[in-house]
Amino acid sequence: MTAPTTNASTETADLPSDAPPIPEGSTMVTVKIERYNPEVDDDLHWESYRIPALPSDRVLNLLHYIKWYIDGTLTFRRSCAHGVCGSDAMRINGVNRLACKVLMKDMFAKKGETTITVEPIKGLPVEKDLLVNMEPFFEAYKAIKPYLVATGNDPTRERIQSVAERERFDDTTKCILCAACTTSCPVYWSEGSYFGPAAIVNAHRFIFDSRDEAAEERLDILNDIDGVWRCRTTFNCTDACPRGIQVTKAIQEVKRALMFRRR
């Protein structure tokens, strides 16, 4: 787990003069970022930055370092910075992660110098650097009617829901809509019309909510050609979920509900 130590003083010639002093215990690493500025560049291209990293730094700290001290134009989303808002999903060393939740101590190379690659998530149009157009993702989310459909209760008192009924869909309410699952899915990459795991997770959240009355309607939507049957059970989505949601399992549960629906 410990980082290989290097003699920082000989390695920092290319760091800017206004950068903060290199903290003790840090290691020089190379961060390779796929970049794109639509006003200047014809295409995506890689740029590398050699910077100091502490084992306790997160990849987000490294991106901030580059943005603050080396290239102020580096563009990415981030807001809460600890894995709740779901703004900074990106492809880090080839897998979808939230930059604010990847610790450097888990990233150092066993031998030789560490290089970390950072790319925008796949399957959505890149707008600038690590920032993609999230609109298609949110369109799929909206299409599954992501809201409680229920009648017969005056909004002056809560509905009764047992602890067990509430527990039934707990896992899928943890979704932060970061798109890490959907953009890790090979089916989504090749067929953008597929609803994708996140939309199905959010449908699951209502289909299995004892208070909801529109399960059949949602199942009809997901029975569509671009619905759950596209899933090839590769488990990329489950691996990618920063909230630990059993995404593939949720999709399977929706498939099962469709197979055994009483109509």
Contact present, 129 and 37 (Cβ < 8 Å): yes
Site for another protein in 57-96 (CB under 8 A): 57-58, 61, 67-69, 71-75, 77-87
Q: Please report the beta strands in 10-61, taking only residues with DSSP state E, as ranges in sequence order.
A: 27-35, 45-53
Q: Hey, which residues does 117 pair with through a beta bridge?
A: 32
Binder among 148, 229, 233, 256 for another protein (CB under 8 A):
148
Q: What angle do CA 245, 85, 166 make, to 5 degrees?
A: 45
Contact present, 63 and 41 (Cβ < 8 Å): no
Binder among 9, 94, 160, 263 for another protein (CB under 8 A):
160
HSE-CB of 198 using CA atoms within 13 angstroms: 25
Binder among 32, 122, 211, 249 for another protein (CB under 8 A):
211
In single-letter form, the type of residue at position 247 comes to: V
Binder among 32, 50, 122, 128 for another protein (CB under 8 A):
128
Q: Nearest Cα to 238, choosing from 190, 192, 180?
A: 180
C-alpha to C-alpha distance for 116 and 201, rounded to whole angstroms: 30
Q: By CB under 8 A, tell whether 24 contacts another protein.
A: no
Contact present, 119 and 90 (Cβ < 8 Å): yes
Q: By CB under 8 A, tell whether 131 contacts another protein.
A: yes
By beta-carbon proximity to another protein, the closer residue of 112 and 244 is 244
By beta-carbon proximity to another protein, the closer residue of 187 and 201 is 201
Q: By CB under 8 A, tell whether 134 contacts another protein.
A: yes
Contact present, 133 and 124 (Cβ < 8 Å): yes
Q: What angle do CA 65, 70, 74 make, to 5 degrees?
A: 75
Q: Of all residues in the chain, what percent are helix, strand and coil, respectively (each to 5)?
A: 35, 15, 50
Q: By CB under 8 A, tell whether 158 contacts another protein.
A: yes
Binder among 38, 41, 46, 109 for another protein (CB under 8 A):
38
Q: By CB under 8 A, tell whether 107 contacts another protein.
A: no
Window contacting another protein (CB under 8 A); options: 31-39, 118-126, 187-195, 230-238: 31-39
| Interface size with another protein, residues (CB under 8 A) | 70
By beta-carbon proximity to another protein, the closer residue of 231 and 242 is 242
Q: Residues in the site for another protein, rule: CB under 8 A?
A: 18, 23, 37-40, 54, 56-58, 61, 67-69, 71-75, 77-87, 101, 103, 105, 127-129, 131, 134, 138, 142, 145-148, 150, 153-163, 165-166, 169-170, 173-177, 206, 209, 211-212, 244
